[in-house]
Amino acid sequence: MNMEHNKNEDALKLVLSLVKQEREIIYSGGGRKAILKQKERNKLLARERITYLTDANKPFIEIGVFAGYEMYEEFGECPAGGTVAGIGYVSGKQCVIIANDQTVKAGAWFPVTGKKNLRMQEIAMENNLPVIYLVDSAGVFLPMQDEIFPDKEHFGRIFRNNARMSAMGITQIAAVMGACVAGGAYLPIMSDETLMVKNNGSIFLAGPYLVKAAIGEETDAESLGGAITHTEISGIADYKFDTEEQCLDQIKKIMAKLGAKETAGFDRIKSAPPKKDPSEIYGILPSDATRPYDMLDIIERITDNSEFDQYKRDYGQTILCGYARVEGWAVGIVANQRKIIKTKRGEMQMGGVIYNDSADKAARFIMNCNQKNIPLVFLQDVTGFMVGSRSEHSGIIKDGAKMVNAVANSVVPKITFIIGNSYGAGNYAMCGKAYDPRFIYAWPSAKIAVMGGDQAAQTLMQIQINALKAKGESINPAAEKKILDDIKSRYEKQTTPFYAAARLWVDDIIDPADTRKLIAEGIAAANHKKITDTFSLGVFQV
């Protein structure tokens, strides 16, 4: 190991440590007081429920841990969007699990809570995975009702998805372990089976106080909509239990009996570990995001036997394309090459930039993977497409559009990892969030923006200074520097993986060492749904 490798490793592990620290704070939910209140009612916490429910020998991939991070400071924090969710295994069956965290504002729904729940339902529908809802929520967070209630991607969309998933044959099981109020009461009843815990679980359109105000009737929560009421009188619930553990045990029994369905048929053989040490990844990625490195070194620490069969190795070299296996699964990898390339013509090409030939190659490779029914993995570290008169005259927009077209119309599953830079149209071409990757993750080193911080800050500063000069104001060097520093600080905060994960632009900020596991689990999920769409590119400039 050389000094540069050690420096890179220290820098990446330092920021990874920060991610882990913030994650631990999020895991504490609404804080000690709220946790104690939950325990006093003999209720498990959201993550405890998931741990009890899921198979201990299988991974649980949490999605949206950082949802809502630093977004609602005026109302207090909203850790994990007030909902714990992810993909795990119950009785050997891979499924989506969504659990309200009652310690966070009584499980109330913030705007990002709705977005996160819709994301989980999207995952279920895309991959044909059963859904288990662990319900414990006070309903919409009223101070922000205008941002969660009426629009197409708001609260009501969840019940629409309940109906659509049922029509698609996707199993949905709801366990009501706490409050289930107002519009939220439709979710368990629109599921296939509804389970309730006595004395804690309740389902009603209006609680006792609202009933009193509306029609003057005196009642209590258990009589109005408790487990006994709904299993013995209304008949809208299917099972009742004395404890949460008994309720979760019944879910395990139901899941154990689910029949198998037709798969997508992705190829898998016996897994083999990488020959090159995966832990060396930390030292490969430069601490300075502008520095070049060989992306092949990272790929070979993710793939089985460190093997990577390159496609068009000597053409379009600023994008690496090729076939590999990850945990036995066949994959096609599209990755930005970050080292500086010297072409056969003697030209120098900057690493991380997409040139005409690399865009052309990537588009062709994506077409091949669709032809062969091979899932795609994108490894992003891209500063954008090449600019300048030479590239424009060569048709860079046309070649870029060809690649974007192929990514947009691809029907095989796409899994994206943002390793470093993810700027401008490069984000789109390399299957950013807007291009429907089945899963998208960020390394702690990720930066997502229209352009790099320095370039953006200089551009915005010039606009601001010109506006001030137009008003007749003079700007001295000190004032100019302050403007630049303020813009750069604000802009760089918006490019961090924390900012992206808070808004669910990425599903999680991950330890780079988990990349291999997340690819394998993502393809395992995708393999549950047969591909019925036909790959077609439509019309574009050839």
* Separation between Cα atoms, residue 384 and residue 361, nearest integer Å: 16
Beta-ladder partners of 91? none
CA nearest neighbour of 8 among 419, 481, 365 = 419
Helix/strand/coil (H/E/C) assignment for every residue in 338-350: CCCEECCCCCEEC
3-class SS shares of the chain: helix, strand, coil, % to 5 = 45, 20, 35
* Separation between Cα atoms, residue 82 and residue 137, nearest integer Å: 9
For range 374-378, the mean pLDDT? 98
* Separation between Cα atoms, residue 538 and residue 436, nearest integer Å: 18
**Given this model, what pLDDT does residue 78 score?**
94
Burial class (CB in 10 A: 0-12, 13-18, 19+), 29: buried
Instruction: Please state, in angstroms and as integers, the Cα–Cα distance from residue 174 to each residue in 12, 118, 191, 221, 382, following that order.
Output: 41, 16, 6, 19, 42
Coil, strand, or helix at residue 85? strand
For range 394-421, the mean pLDDT? 92
Q: Kindly report, residue by residue over 335-349, the tens digit of the pLDDT.
A: 999 998 887 777 778
* Separation between Cα atoms, residue 338 and residue 483, nearest integer Å: 32
For range 1-9, the mean pLDDT? 87
**Given this model, what pLDDT does residue 25 score?**
96
Q: Which pair of structure tokens corresponds to residue 263?
A: 């798969």
- Beta strand 376-382 pairing with 319-326: unpaired
Run of H or E residues at 50? helix 46-53
Residues 304, 325 contacting (CB under 8 angstroms): yes
Q: Which pair of structure tokens corresponds to residue 469?
A: 């000069």
Q: Above 90 in pLDDT, residue 455?
A: no
Q: Above 70 in pLDDT, residue 270?
A: yes
Residue whose tokens read 């080292």: 339
Q: Which of 23-37, 121-135, 444-458 is the least confident region?
A: 444-458
**Given this model, what pLDDT does residue 115 score?**
96
* Separation between Cα atoms, residue 325 and residue 332, nearest integer Å: 8
Question: Which stretch, 120-124, 216-220, 460-464, 483-487, has highest mean pLDDT?
Answer: 120-124
- pLDDT-derived band at 456 (thresholds 50, 70, 90) equals low
Q: Above 90 in pLDDT, residue 530?
A: yes
Run of H or E residues at 154? none
* Separation between Cα atoms, residue 379 and residue 295, nearest integer Å: 9
For range 23-52, the mean pLDDT? 95
Q: Kindly report, residue by residue over 67-121, the tens digit of the pLDDT.
A: 999 999 888 889 999 999 999 999 999 999 999 999 999 898 899 999 999 999 9
Q: How many CB atoms lie within 10 A of CB 37?
A: 14
The whole-chain average pLDDT of the chain stands at: 91
Q: Which pair of structure tokens corresponds to residue 99?
A: 């659990």
